[in-house]
Amino acid sequence: MTDLHAEYAPAAPPAQLPRQPLRLSCVVPAYNEQANIEGFLRALAQTVRALTPDFEIVVVNDGSRDATHELSLRLAQELPLRYLALSRNFGKEAALSAGIDHARGNAVLLIDADFQHPLEMLAEMHELWQSGYEMVYGVIADRAAESGAKRMGTQLFYRVMNSGSSVKMPPNAGDFRWMDRKVVDALKALPENNRFMKGLYAWVGFKTVALPFVPKDRAAGSSSFNLRRLGSLALLGLTSFTTLPLRIWSMVGAGISLLALAYGLWIAIEALFFGNPLRGWPTLAASIMLFSGVQLLSIGILGEYIGRIYEEVKRRPIYLVAHDEDRSPLREHEREPS
Ligand code: UDP
Ligand code: MG
């Protein structure tokens, strides 16, 4: 624990609660992870077994085009798996939603399949949950391994996001988290189709604590998030959680109108009192170009939000499950209150 994210966490740990014995659902999204999935699921099962005998691993195959499907089906024969294959690649946010929707434990762990999230941290997450925290999340403590452009983009994103939204999103917090059933139920109850998970975790609140970690190198394969995909994820986050970009243009518009008014007055005064009626054609041409650009840009931003509304009102499902292999030992707990 650290005070790195103290502003997002309560000052003192909540009072010790008598928690029910842990029944853990580990949600693992997997997209083209054939090189990692087997080793990872075995390592995960081994780590979790040390915490509780009652656990399931919910593997969500997010439309992989490699052998992830066959490997997961085979592993379901020996590990306590709930294996869900989505009908195509819906993206990590949707895959996580699918996992959360199907998890049955009284606590849910979200963890990547590529070994980047250190398994050694699970014991500490468990302890913090047991001491009363409802959400424990990993915070990337060191982004030194990432490119300068990615780091700068990330910084800019969190700055805009947090200045425009009343929900404060802790910077550099990822999807590596341990959540109590209460948090999971709150997340499941959120109705939106555009699921920017990092924002939703912050929106639901609850007693939360941050654990810093240094992500390891990807064990095998490469990240599916290139700059373009990160950019569109950032745009999703901004349009889902802040209307600041819309407001900026009202302010810019108001500012420019005032300036134009003052300039108009000045032209009139110049013509009337100084007899200088015909000048400034270059100013005219330049300002028309500048302001048509500003207008197009602001219409574009408007369009971004309208597009989001359009997607939302269509009410399409967030994901489709094409295959569901249920070997979870938590099946019998399904109807019990947690
Ligand atoms: N992932 C997914 N669907 C996608 C992209 C990624 O389920 O469309 C999974 C991927 O298999 C991994 C996790 O999300 O378990 C993180 O992905 P990745 O390692 O590519 O991203 P990064 O670690 O670079 O953020
Ligand atoms: Mg990764």
CATH code of the domain covering residue 121: 3.90.550.10
Q: How many domains does the chain fold into?
A: 2
What is the model's pLDDT at position 277?
A: 63
**pTM, entire model:** 0.79
Same domain for 60 and 114, yes or no, is yes
Question: Above 90 in pLDDT, residue 262?
Answer: no
Same domain for 91 and 213, yes or no, is yes
H or E element: which one contains 100?
Answer: helix 92-102
What is the model's pLDDT at position 334?
A: 63
Cβ atoms of 205 and 133 within 8 Å: the answer is: no
Does a structural domain hold residue 116? yes
Same domain for 208 and 288, yes or no, is no
Local confidence band at 3 (pLDDT 50, 70, 90 cut-offs): very low
Cβ atoms of 101 and 141 within 8 Å: the answer is: no
Local confidence band at 72 (pLDDT 50, 70, 90 cut-offs): very high
Query: What mean pLDDT value characterizes the chain?
Result: 85
What is the model's pLDDT at position 2?
A: 42
Determine the distance from the C-alpha atom of residue 302 to the mean position of all C-alpha atoms in its chain, rounded to a whole number.
Answer: 22
Same domain for 199 and 280, yes or no, is no
Does a structural domain hold residue 234? no
43 vs 160, residue with greater confidence: 43
Residue from 66, 68, 112, 151 whose mutation best tests the ligand 1 pocket (most atoms within 8 A of CB): 112
CA of 88 to the centre of ligand 1 (A): 14
Residue from 40, 89, 92, 110 whose mutation best tests the ligand 1 pocket (most atoms within 8 A of CB): 92
CA of 157 to the centre of ligand 2 (A): 19
247 vs 106, residue with greater confidence: 106
Same domain for 176 and 324, yes or no, is yes
Same domain for 192 and 101, yes or no, is yes
Local confidence band at 331 (pLDDT 50, 70, 90 cut-offs): confident
Residue from 213, 217, 224 whose mutation best tests the ligand 1 pocket (most atoms within 8 A of CB): 224
What is the model's pLDDT at position 16?
A: 62
What is the model's pLDDT at position 4?
A: 44
Determine the average pLDDT of the residues in 226-238.
86
Determine the average pLDDT of the residues in 273-280.
73
CA of 321 to the centre of ligand 2 (A): 23
H or E element: which one contains 124?
Answer: helix 122-130
CA of 116 to the centre of ligand 2 (A): 6
Same domain for 208 and 310, yes or no, is no
Determine the average pLDDT of the residues in 207-230.
85
* Residue having the nearest C-alpha atom to atom 21 of ligand 1: 223
CA of 233 to the centre of ligand 2 (A): 15
Determine the average pLDDT of the residues in 191-212.
88
Name the pairing type of β-strands 173-180 and 135-140.
antiparallel
Does a structural domain hold residue 141? yes
Same domain for 285 and 220, yes or no, is no
Same domain for 251 and 153, yes or no, is no
Question: Above 50 in pLDDT, residue 185?
Answer: yes
Does a structural domain hold residue 233? no
The rounded distance, in Å, linking the Cα atoms of 237 and 234 is: 5
Same domain for 124 and 23, yes or no, is yes
CB under 8 Å to 193, separation ≥6 — which residues? 311, 312, 314, 315, 316, 318
What is the model's pLDDT at position 278?
A: 65
Same domain for 186 and 201, yes or no, is yes
Determine the average pLDDT of the residues in 22-51.
94
Question: Above 70 in pLDDT, residue 164?
Answer: yes
* Residue having the nearest C-alpha atom to atom 12 of ligand 1: 112
Residues in the chain: 338
Strands (E), the chain: 24-30, 55-61, 81-86, 107-110, 135-140, 173-180, 208-213, 321-326
Nearest ligand 1 atom to alpha carbon 112: 15
Determine the average pLDDT of the residues in 211-222.
84
Does a structural domain hold residue 69? yes
Got the DSSP string for 281-309? HHHHHHHHHHHHHHHHHHHHHHHHHHHHH
What is the model's pLDDT at position 259?
A: 86
Ligand nearest to the CA of 224: 1
Does a structural domain hold residue 208? yes
Ligand 1 binding pocket, CB closer than 6 Å:
29-31, 33, 62, 89, 91-92, 95, 112-114, 116, 218, 223-225
Strands (E), 122-240: 135-140, 173-180, 208-213
CA of 134 to the centre of ligand 1 (A): 25
What is the model's pLDDT at position 183?
A: 94
Tokens found for residue 275: 């007899």
pLDDT, tens only, 91-147: 999 999 999 999 999 999 999 999 999 999 999 999 999 988 999 999 988 777 778
The rounded distance, in Å, linking the Cα atoms of 115 and 245 is: 36
Tracing tokens 């087997």 back to the chain, one arrives at 38
H or E element: which one contains 252?
Answer: helix 244-274
pLDDT, tens only, 282-319: 778 778 877 887 888 888 888 888 888 888 888 889 99
Q: What amino acid is encoded at 151 in this protein? A: R
Tokens found for residue 122: 């699970």
Determine the average pLDDT of the residues in 160-184.
87
Does a structural domain hold residue 90? yes
DSSP 3-state assignment of 55?
strand
What is the span of the domain harbouring residue 252? Answer: 244-314
CA of 65 to the centre of ligand 1 (A): 14
Q: What amino acid is encoded at 313 in this protein? A: V
Residue from 58, 109, 114 whose mutation best tests the ligand 1 pocket (most atoms within 8 A of CB): 114
Same domain for 92 and 170, yes or no, is yes
Does a structural domain hold residue 39? yes
